[in-house]
Amino acid sequence: MTKENINYQEEVLKAGLLIGLTSVFITLVAYMISVETMTEWWFSLLTLVITIGLTIYLGISYRSSIGGYISFSESFKFSFIAMGISYAIGIIFSIILYNVIDPGLSEVIKQITVEKTVEMLESFGSSDEVIDATIEGVEKGIEDNTTAVGLIKSSPYGLLFIALLSLLTSLFIKKNKEISDRIN
Domain-embedded: residue 164: yes
Domain-embedded: residue 178: no
The total of other beta-carbon atoms located within 10 Å of residue 41's CB is: 8
Domain-embedded: residue 183: no
Q: What pLDDT is recorded for position 169?
A: 97
Note down the domain range covering 164: 3-173
Domain-embedded: residue 94: yes
Side-chain-side CA neighbours of 165 within 13 Å: the count stands at: 24
Between 11 and 6, name the one with better pLDDT: 11
How far apart, in whole angstroms, are the C-alpha atoms of residue 65 and residue 37?
Answer: 38
Please report which confidence band the pLDDT of residue 119 belongs to, taking 50, 70 and 90 as the band edges.
confident
Neighbour-count burial for 96-109, b at 16+ CB within 10 Å, e otherwise: ebbeeeeeebbeeb
Percent of the chain exceeding pLDDT 70 equals 95
Q: Is 4 helix (H, G, I), strand (E, B) or coil?
A: helix
Q: What pLDDT is recorded for position 183?
A: 62
The total of other beta-carbon atoms located within 10 Å of residue 170's CB is: 23
Give the pLDDT mean for 5-19.
93
Output the CA torsion sign for 120, 123, 126, 132.
Answer: positive
Looking at the 3D structure of the chain, how many domains does it have? 1
The total of other beta-carbon atoms located within 10 Å of residue 86's CB is: 24
- Mean pLDDT for all residues in the chain: 90
Q: What is the pLDDT of residues 18-67, one digit of tens each?
A: 999 999 999 999 999 999 999 888 999 999 999 999 999 999 999 999 99
Domain-embedded: residue 150: yes
Domain-embedded: residue 182: no
Domain-embedded: residue 79: yes
Side-chain-side CA neighbours of 3 within 13 Å: the count stands at: 6
Domain-embedded: residue 81: yes
Q: What is the pLDDT of residues 76-116, one digit of tens each?
A: 999 999 999 999 999 999 999 999 999 999 889 889 988 88
